[in-house]
Amino acid sequence: MTESWLNYLDGALACKGWLVADGAQGPTRPGVVLFPDARGMGQAAKDCARRLAGEGYVVLVADLYGGGTFAAEMTEAQGLMNDLRADVDRWRRRAQAALTALQQQANVDRGKLAIIGYCFGGSTALELARSGASLAAVVSFHGGLASPRPQDAANIRACVLVCHGAADPLVPPEQVSAFVAQMCQSPVDWQLHSYSGVVHGFTNPEADNAGTPALAYNEAADRHSWQAMLALFRQTLRAG
C-alpha cells in the first residue's frame, strides 16, 4: 500500500489531500475521490481510503477546507461546513478541484472515476454530481439530500447510490421524499437504500462517542452499504 499527501489548488487555496493505492505496478486503475465528514481530513476517512484501495482503486481523500484541516471539535467543524456550503458555486469548485487532482495521477484511468462521501461529504458528492461532472458513479453514505439548486439534478451524468438511515433525524422523511422526486424527474440511474432503525453516521464507529442519539454506528448497515457500493463500482467502473 502506498500513501502520500497530494498537494493541489482550488484557485488560490492550497489543498492537501491523502492519496492511497495498493502499490501494485501495471495498468491504470479506476479512481475514487472520498469526501470526508464535516470534520475534514480525519483518521476515519483515511482508514476507509485504505480499505477501498485494497479493492483495487486509487483513492484520494479530498481536502474540504484547505491545508489538510481536521476539526476535532464539532462546533469548529460546523462552522467550516456552513461557510463552505453557503456558496454553492465555491462548494462545487472545491469538490471539482479534488476530482481534477485525482484525474491527473498517472496510475488513474480518467475514464473510470467515482466519488463517495460521508455525512457532509455525501452532500458534497451529490453537489459535485449536480454540477454535471463527468463521473461513472456517486455514492452518499448518510449524507444530507437537500440542495440549494435541486433542479440541477437534471445535470447528473453518473449512477447514484444513496445509503440512508431510515431513522436519521438529521435527514428527515420530507427531505428524502423531495430528493426522490428530483431523481424521478431527471434521467438518472439511481438507487436509495434505506436501513430500518438506523440513524446518522452509521458507518463510523466513532459516532457512538458523540453523546447524542442522532448519531450511532450500525455494523449491519455499514456492511450492507459498503457491499452496495462495491457492487455499483463493479457495474460502472470495471466494465470494458
Q: What is the pLDDT of residue 25?
A: 64
Measured CA to CA, the distance from residue 119 to residue 163 in angstroms comes to 11
Q: Which three cell numbers stand for residue 216?
A: 450511532
Helix (H, G, I), strand (E, B) or coil at 91: helix
Measured CA to CA, the distance from residue 125 to residue 143 in angstroms comes to 9
Q: What is the pLDDT of residue 127?
A: 98
Across the chain, which has 240 residues, the per-10-residue mean pLDDT values are 97 98 84 97 95 96 97 94 98 98 96 98 98 97 97 96 98 97 93 98 87 93 98 85
- As a dihedral over the C-alpha atoms of residue 15, residue 21, residue 27, residue 29, rounded to 10 degrees, the angle is -70
Q: Which three cell numbers stand for residue 87?
A: 456558496
pTM for this predicted structure: 0.96
Find the CATH number of the domain harbouring 133: 3.40.50.1820
Asked whether 145 and 175 are in contact (CB, 8 A), the reply is: yes
What's the domain count of the chain? Answer: 1
Asked whether 227 and 51 are in contact (CB, 8 A), the reply is: no
CB atoms within 10 A of CB 66: 16
Please give the residue range of the domain that contains residue 35: 2-236
